[in-house]
Amino acid sequence: MMNGVFCANFSHSRECWAPCHQVWCGQCYTAHPLDRFPRYTPTDEGGFEWQTPEDAARYTHARDGDHLLTPFQCDLCVFRNLQGRNPVHESNRDTALLCCIRRVNLDAVWGREPSTVANSLRGATQLVQQWVKVGLEPTFPALGPYPVEDSFGFSVAIGMVLKSLEPGRYDSYQQYETIRKLRAAYSNIYMASKEGGSSLRSFGGDRVKHYLTDSPTQSLFFERFSQGCVRRMGQEVKQDWAITLPAMHALLEILEEDWEKGHSPELTAMVGAYVVIAFAGSFRGNEVFLVDMHGVRKYLRSSEPPADAVIIALLGRFKGETGDRYHLAPLAAQTSSGIPIKKWVTRLVEVHERRGYLRGPLFGDRTGQVMRPKIIELEIMDKLQRIKNTCRGIIPEDVDIYEDFGISRSFRRGSTSTARTRGVDDKTVTLINRWRSFEQARGRRPAMSMKDHYSDIQILLPELIKYSLAL
């Protein structure tokens, strides 16, 4: 048995089922004939696939010794555990389920690299040889049988591989980052259930806790499956194209022309203020919509901040915190390259004031609700497309504006890259983003007023505006 992949369920509790004695060599346990699950292949931009013969064989069969590292049950036993019966070979559903079971098993065993499996098999074999020399019986623990139940989390794993076959945003299949959410959903439900909640235990201090759970999605088998699945599928992360400094200036030139011509002043001011805040503050796209009209207006009309700074006040719920919190982000009034941050923020505030809008989100519509991000995003994309068509060299020809750019990450990526090329050190980058880590309170931010927050940052103000000043 040491040189094969075998099912450990030599006996079964259901008397109507025949005992399972299925044994395979690793090469015989191959992918199901109906297996059409996605596999990642490194491909260059010209379409050439970089793949060795060894790479081509990955995930298509098991290896001798896989059962020594990953808990293993054969397809028939897993089917019985899930369905409570034997498969009907004429049934398309049963055939599809068996195909999924085979794929999950192969992903699980491929959660370990071939060299690791070979070394473990070699070590186990040598250990037996040494025992034989002195007449010792092998003392390895039993590898089965397992209970007649889904103790490995096969049902969730099957749901994940089936989900991967659905069309994705960037490819013909779903990415691993999407399908793994099914595991998270099941784990949350399990811990909220009678079974999971009553057995859940935690240990740790006040700030960090670890939980012990019997959830099958936290089993060793499921961990191996997850590792093998992500390696087979790969992780295609399509990042938003970074907004460069030349693109920022070209964008602001177009917005300035629209402003001078009186073209939709409210929308133009909103887009202008959005892009300068997002870029100069290194904000994610959604974070800019948390800017508070009352907070910005208060410090814009106050004599407290120096003339070379503008205070951006954000109010909302932030990841890792509880309740609503104010965060003040000081930015330079104008960057060293000439981005007029304060001018565009002032314009937007004045537009709001003229229509009597004094409180609420700075990027709010006429009803006082936060504006739909898609409206501003499309305005920005249209202008970037205009830049690409008229200003050669700023945006590469092979870039698809509406596909490759996005307000979610484009401004932040461009801001961070530009800051580093212009000599901003990592310490300053961390300092400007300190409100996201709430490190002052070591994980617990006290409830403070906006005025208290401003008093807190006054001393650091010269350091805090260094980042945006350098852009």
* Least confident range of 138-147, 242-251, 449-458: 449-458
Q: What is the mean pLDDT of residues 354-367?
A: 86
- Indicate whether 72 and 103 sit together in one domain: yes
Q: What are phi and psi of 76, to 5 degrees?
A: -65, -45
- Indicate whether 157 and 306 sit together in one domain: no
> Tokens standing for 459?
């001393």
Asked if residue 238 is part of any domain, the answer here is no
Look at residue 284 in the predicted model and tell me its pLDDT. Answer: 83
- Indicate whether 64 and 127 sit together in one domain: yes
Asked if residue 240 is part of any domain, the answer here is no
Asked if residue 355 is part of any domain, the answer here is yes
User: Rounded distance, CA 292 to CA 450, Å?
Assistant: 11
* Least confident range of 83-97, 207-221, 243-257, 450-464: 450-464
pLDDT, tens only, 92-117: 999 999 999 999 999 999 999 999 99
- Indicate whether 455 and 316 sit together in one domain: yes
Residue 460 CA, chain-centre distance (Å), reads 33
CATH number at 350 reads 1.10.443
Task: Check pLDDT > 60 for residue 67.
Answer: yes
- Indicate whether 227 and 298 sit together in one domain: no
Count the domains in the chain: 2
Asked if residue 358 is part of any domain, the answer here is yes
- What is the bridge-based pairing of β-strands 201-204 and 209-212? antiparallel
- Indicate whether 176 and 308 sit together in one domain: no
Q: Which pLDDT band, with edges at 50, 70 and 90, does 201 fall under?
A: confident
Asked if residue 176 is part of any domain, the answer here is yes
- Indicate whether 222 and 251 sit together in one domain: no
For the chain, report the end-to-end CA distance as a whole number of angstroms: 66
User: Rounded distance, CA 365 to CA 293, Å?
Assistant: 12
User: Rounded distance, CA 330 to CA 326, Å?
Assistant: 13
* Chosen domain end from 172, 206, 233: 233
Which amino acid, 41? T
Task: Check pLDDT > 60 for residue 337.
Answer: yes
pLDDT, tens only, 36-50: 999 887 765 566 667
What is the 3 state secondary structure string of the chain? Answer: CCCCEECCCCCCCCCCCCCCCCEECHHHCECCCCCCCCCCCCECCCCCECCCHHHHCCCCECCCCHHHCCCCCCHHHHHHHHHCCCCCCCCHHHHHHHHHHHHHHHHHHCCCCHHHHHHHHHHHHHHHHHHHHCCCCCCCCCCCCCCCCCCCCHHHHHHHHHHCCCCCCCCCCCCHHHHHHHHHHHHHHHHHCHHHHHHCEEEECCCCEEEECCCHHHCHHHHHHHHHHHHHHCCCCCCCCCCCHHHHHHHHHHHHHHHHCCCCHHHHHHHHHHHHHHHHCCCCHHHHCCEEHHHHHHHHCCCCCCCCEEEEEEEECCCCCCCCEEEEEEEECCCCCCCCHHHHHHHHHHHHHHCCCCCCECCECCCCCECCHHHHHHHHHHHHHHHHHHCCCCCCCCCCHHHHCCCCCHHHHHHHHHHHHCCCCHHHHHHHCHHHHCHHHCCCCCCCCHHHHHHHHCCCHHHHCHHHHHC
- Indicate whether 209 and 280 sit together in one domain: no
- Indicate whether 172 and 321 sit together in one domain: no
Closest CA to 269 of 304, 309, 296, 302: 296
- What is the bridge-based pairing of β-strands 325-332 and 309-316? antiparallel
Write out the residue range of the structural domain in which residue 66 sits: 5-233
Look at residue 103 in the predicted model and tell me its pLDDT. Answer: 96
Asked if residue 239 is part of any domain, the answer here is no
**pTM, to two decimals:** 0.66
- Indicate whether 291 and 351 sit together in one domain: yes
* Chosen domain end from 200, 233, 266: 233
How high does pLDDT run on average in the chain? 82
* Chosen domain end from 233, 266, 294: 233
Task: Give burial (CB, 10 Å; 0-12/13-18/19+) of 249.
Answer: middle
pLDDT, tens only, 376-414: 999 999 999 999 888 888 888 888 888 888 888 888 888
Look at residue 432 in the predicted model and tell me its pLDDT. Answer: 65
Look at residue 431 in the predicted model and tell me its pLDDT. Answer: 61
Look at residue 165 in the predicted model and tell me its pLDDT. Answer: 92
- Indicate whether 211 and 262 sit together in one domain: no
- Indicate whether 225 and 267 sit together in one domain: no
Look at residue 335 in the predicted model and tell me its pLDDT. Answer: 92
* Least confident range of 114-118, 165-169, 249-253, 279-283: 165-169
Q: What is the mean pLDDT of residues 353-371?
A: 86
